[in-house]
Structures are given as structure tokens and as C-alpha cells.
Amino acid sequence: MSPARVLASVLLGVLVAQGAVAAPAAKRPRVDREAMREAMDAAASDDEGFSSSASYANYLQSRLLHYAGDHKGAVDALRLALATDDGHPLLLTRLAEEYARLGDLDKAERELRKAVERSPAYYPAHVLMGRVLLEAGRFTRARMHLRRAVALKPREPEAYLVLTQLHLEAGAPDEAVKVVDALAVALPGEASGYRRLGLALAERGDNTRAERLLLEASRRDPGDVEVLSALAKLYDESGRPTEAEDALARALQRDPDSQEVLLAAGRAALKAGSVVRARAYFDRLLSLSTEPETVVRVAFSFLAAREPSAAAEVLEAARKAGADEPRLAYYAGLVKERMRRFQEAADAFGAVPETSEVFADARVRRARCLSLAGAHPRALALLKAALQEAPEDVEIRTQYARALERGGAPAKAEAVLKEGLAAGPSAALYDALAATLNRQGRGKEALALLGDVVAKSPRDEELLYVLGAAFERQGDMAGALARMREVLDVDPDHAAALNFLGYLLAQSGKDLDEAERRVRRALELHPDTGAFLDSLGWVYFRRGEYQRAVEALERASLLSPDEPVILEHLGDAYQRASRGEEAAGAWRRALDVLTLDPESAEPPGQRAVLERKLKALPTRSSGR
């Protein structure tokens, strides 16, 4: 049936229904305000109307197809409409829109050119032309059409917003700001320009401009949750947790059940130093969601803020409330493992049933924790069973070898690793074998082994990296630097090698500019990596920029709160920044971790070094 006959049938049905006197009163239909506005806009922009009912029927059919996602069908319907209404600007603009949605920008531009030639003052055609040309990267022509649209309807925000996007993509944020300021003058209460541009700039890291725009958007629309959340993130990143919490509290006034905002508010409260307020936010969040992932996010938020007991309480409470959920036991194990409470972690991992999807990982983690807690026979039994089920699994094999070594069987550990290498060589297994040999005082043998392997595969970046790490363990900085440069010759964006090279250069005190450049590139690739931020902080430290070192190392410590190396570096930076008490606190935290986990020492004599640093600190005079 043709679209015109469909329309006629529908209209006839409506007339018959209205004429049926005995029929009961129909329920009043819901008003589709968007459709009504679209119809009014179409009517307002076309004084002549449609030339025929057939044209109008085909136009309506095209809209139905458009909303159904059938843009090719919409094109066909619009072509039929134009057959009896040639040059109609609305139909041409709609046709261009369908071509644009199909990805054919050339045809879209062609139809829009017809529309503006026929009706130079047709606002929608100029706006869409601006969008199409922007998408095609033709900024100059796009700007011309968008400015024309603004002149035609200075109180319509759409053209301003597209023009703002154009300036942003053209790398002219100041011009984009001018456009939203002009929109604010034209529509004094309008917040959309400030909102959109502020959010876009925040996403691009342009925090200074973003903050000003988002503050203005918030002033115009005080309850915009997304704007307030973005402001809170900016405040948090600039070290203003109290302001971040205040913004999130205002967002919660509008949307008190927003789980993401509650989580962010709790974290902000922790950074502001209020565990009490954080608990209030988190308790509300946990009352809204029983998902294990929510529980663990709250627990790890406490853990990152160095509130391990609170983290443990959250998980234990969740386990008691939902004992049948195996993932809670798994997450409890992760938290205990992070806290280096290995026996408790092993007990939690042991509560994960074999039917759970996380059982395989829980078993390996349980075995590692048992091994670190000194329960070697139980650990080895678990790892042996896991390896029999998955002999090709490199992680299980390396954990089994390390557990054998801890249990006093280094020769067996070496044999297990060599067995794996015979079945399928891998850089991870070679690294584990080299580390095992090094711990037995056979570092030169490890270097010789790795040298032979690399000679056979001189372009294998992972093997080159392992060889570089082995050189570093032997104290051969020149060899380590050379291997890391070879890794980067193969893969210039090998983030670990970039970081390793930068850190080695910082340690040597030479080429600090190159060191910073290398580490910054690693951070561009992986921004939230505590080890990389530690390297950046160490570059600043070696350069004598102690305040910048403190800032970078504090961020590294937030991301990796229990890493002894990072804590030692942070203490060193505090000391040089004349913050002796904070230096002592960082060093003591590092010693606490080493007491629970001696293997995390880097280098092996780190504990003695930390104790000497603490003894060398001047004691405070009494009465001060």
C-alpha cells in the first residue's frame, strides 16, 4: 500500500472513530512534545507548506522510517516527496540529514546547497550544512554557514553550540568561549553553551577554562548533576577535596540516589580527612546496591585512604548479609592480600566454591598467600593441582616455582621453569628463571642464559626488556640502559621500557630532561600508574625540585598506597622539603609493609636503609 493510501486509511479510521456516538470516551493520548515542536518548527520554516497530500504523506513516511533507523528507506520516501514538491527546503534538508546518517557527506552537502539556494534564510539548512562541513573537516565554509544561522535566529542555541564545537576541534578554545559568551548574551538564562563547552574542556584536560565555564553553568542551572560532578572531579584533581565534596553534596540534593555521586562524595570526604562523613555516603550507597562490585569499590576506597580496618569491615558485613555470593569472599581475599594479611586472605579465597567463575584465580591467589604465610605444603598442593589442570598457564607455573623456592627447593623451582620453557618459551618464564638464579647468587649465569636467548631473537621486545631488568639486578646500569633503548627501537611506545629507562637515568642523575620526557610518555600511555608517577617524582627529586617531587609521589602513593619503594621515595621528598614528621611517617609505613611482606623490599636491603634514615632524623625537643 502506498504511503498516501496509508495516511488516508489512518485519517478515515480517526474520522469514523470520532463519529461513533455510542463508543465510549477514548483515553486522552499522551502528547509527544518533541514531535509537536518538530511539526511547529517545520510549519514555521515553510510558509508555502506542502504542494500536495502525496508529498506530505511521503514526508511522514520518511519520518517513521527515520525513527525506525531505516535511513535508506527514508531517502527513498523523501525522493518521492520531492518528485511532487521539487526544491522544498524542508524536504531537501531532511534528505541531507538521511545521507549524512548513511555517511555520504558529499550527497548531503549537495542537497543542502540546493536548499540554501532555494531558501537563503532557511535556518535548519545552514545549521546542518555547518555540521556536515565540520564533519568533513572543512572548517572555513562550516563557520560561514553557522554564522549565517546565528544571524538568522540569534535566540536559537543550536547554531552557537555547533560553532563552539567547530572552534574546539580547530584548536581555538578561546574562540569557542567567545561563542558561548555570545549565546549567554542572546539568551540570558541559557546554560547549555557553558555546560557543553565546560564538559568538553574538562575531558580534554583544560581545567582552568573548564572550571570557569562549569561554574557559570552551575550558577545558571544549580541542580545539574553532571556539571557538579565534573566540577568535583576538577577540584579533586587540583587537590581541593573539600570543594569537591561540597559540589557532590549539592549534586546529591538533586539526585540523592546517584550511586556514582555517592561513591565520589565518600572518596572526597576521605581525602578531606573525614572518615565519618565518608561512612555516611558509603552507607547510603550500600543501602541502594547489593552488587559485590559496589562493596569492593567502597572497600578499596577505604583501603586507598589508608583505612584498612574500615575496608575489612565493609566486606565482612557484606559477606554476612549475602553469604551465598562467592565473589564477596573473593573480594575480601583481594583486600586482605592488598593489606599483606596473607593468612586471612588465604582463608577468604578458600571460601570461594569450585563452581564459581572466579575459583581458578582464587585458588592461585590462595596458594600464593599460603606460601607467603609460610604454609608451604598446602600452597604447593594447590599449585600442583592447578598446574596439572592447565600446564600451559605461565602464571600458575611461575607461582608454583616461586612457592617451591620459598619452601626451600630452588632446584625443583628451576626445573619447573625449564620444563615450561621446553614446552613453550615465553618472556615471563625466562624472567622468572633469571630472577630465581639471581636469588641463588647465580646472576652471571642468568645473564648468559638470557643473552643466548636474545641472540636468537634480537627483535623480541619482551625478551630485551627481561634482559635489561637482569642487567639492572646485577648492578650493570650501562647494560640495562642499552637494552631498554633497544626495546624502544623495536617499540617506541613500550610503556614499561619508557618508565624503566627514565627511572635509570634519574637514578644516575644524568640526562634528567630525557628521563622526564621518557616517563611522561609512559604516563601518557598509562596515566594512572603508581610506578610511573613514582619515576616522575624521582626525576624531580634528583633535579632538586622537592615540592614537585612531593606532589607526584603523593599521587603515586594514592594509586599504590602500600608500595615500599614509593613510600621510601615519598619520605625522602618530605625530608628535603623540610617536612620531617611526614618523612618519618612515610618511612614507618614502608617498614610496616616490609614486616608483613619482606619480599617486597627493593632492593633487598631496603629495610636496613629505612631504619638508618629514621635514626638519622633529628628528634623534636621537649616542649616543642
- Which of 89, 100, 176, 94 shows the shortest CA–CA distance to 131? 100
Angstrom distance (rounded) from CA 159 to CA 305: 46
Angstrom distance (rounded) from CA 350 to CA 381: 14
Mean pLDDT of the chain: 88
Beta strands in 535-597 (DSSP E): none
Residue 620 is predicted with a pLDDT of 58
**Helices H, strands E: what count in the chain?**
35, 0
Residue 41 is predicted with a pLDDT of 46
- 341 grid coordinates: 594479611
Confidence of residue 9 (pLDDT cuts 50, 70, 90): very low
Instruction: Report the pLDDT averaged over residues 490-502.
Output: 97
Residue 559 is predicted with a pLDDT of 87
Could you report the per-residue pLDDT of 35-68, keeping only the tens digit for each? 434 443 443 444 447 888 889 999 999 999 999 9
Q: How far is CA 514 from the centre of its chain?
A: 28
Could you report the per-residue pLDDT of 502-520, keeping only the tens digit for each? 999 999 988 999 999 999 9
**Rounded to 5°, angle at Cα 589 from 372 and 439:** 40
Could you report the per-residue pLDDT of 349-375, keeping only the tens digit for each? 999 999 999 999 999 999 999 999 999
**What's the CA dihedral at 606, 607, 609, 613 to 10 degrees?**
130
Q: Is the pLDDT of residue 541 over 90?
A: yes
Angstrom distance (rounded) from CA 295 to CA 575: 37
Say which DSSP state 382 is in. Answer: H
Confidence of residue 539 (pLDDT cuts 50, 70, 90): very high
Instruction: Report the pLDDT averaged over residues 128-151.
Output: 94
- Which of 49, 75, 47, 51 shows the shortest CA–CA distance to 61? 75
Confidence of residue 293 (pLDDT cuts 50, 70, 90): confident
- 103 grid coordinates: 555517511
Angstrom distance (rounded) from CA 339 to CA 169: 46
Q: Is 552 helix (H, G, I), strand (E, B) or coil?
A: helix
- Which of 68, 140, 136 shows the shortest CA–CA distance to 106? 136
* Residues in the chain, total: 624
Q: Is the pLDDT of residue 344 over 60?
A: yes
Angstrom distance (rounded) from CA 49 to CA 10: 21
Alpha helices by DSSP H, 170-257: 173-186, 192-203, 207-220, 225-237, 241-254
Measured from the Cβ of residue 183, the count of other Cβ atoms closer than 10 Å reads: 25
Q: Which residues contact 412 (CB under 8 A, 6 or more apart)?
A: 404
Residue 45 is predicted with a pLDDT of 44
Angstrom distance (rounded) from CA 386 to CA 415: 17
| DSSP letter string, 474-520 | TT-HHHHHHHHHHHHHH-TT-HHHHHHHHHHHHHHT--HHHHHHHHH
Tell whether the torsion through CA atoms of 288, 293, 299 and 305 is positive or negative: negative
- Which of 427, 449, 428 shows the shortest CA–CA distance to 438? 449
Q: Is the pLDDT of residue 27 over 60?
A: no
For residue 40, the one-letter residue type is M
Angstrom distance (rounded) from CA 318 to CA 441: 47
Q: Is the pLDDT of residue 547 over 60?
A: yes
Residue 562 is predicted with a pLDDT of 85
Instruction: Report the pLDDT averaged over residues 411-430.
Output: 96
Could you report the per-residue pLDDT of 169-226, keeping only the tens digit for each? 999 999 999 999 999 899 888 888 888 998 998 888 888 999 999 998 999 989 899 9
Where do the domains of the chain lie, and which CATH numbers do they carry?
51-153 (1.25.40.10), 290-296+306-408 (1.25.40.10), 531-624 (1.25.40.10)
Angstrom distance (rounded) from CA 125 to CA 118: 11
- 282 grid coordinates: 558509603
Q: Is the pLDDT of residue 83 over 60?
A: yes
Measure Cα distances from 579 to 273, 520, 533, 584, 587 in Å.
Answer: 19, 27, 20, 9, 13
In terms of Cβ atoms closer than 10 Å to its own Cβ (0-12, 13-18, 19+), residue 18 is exposed
Angstrom distance (rounded) from CA 571 to CA 589: 10
Residue 43 is predicted with a pLDDT of 37
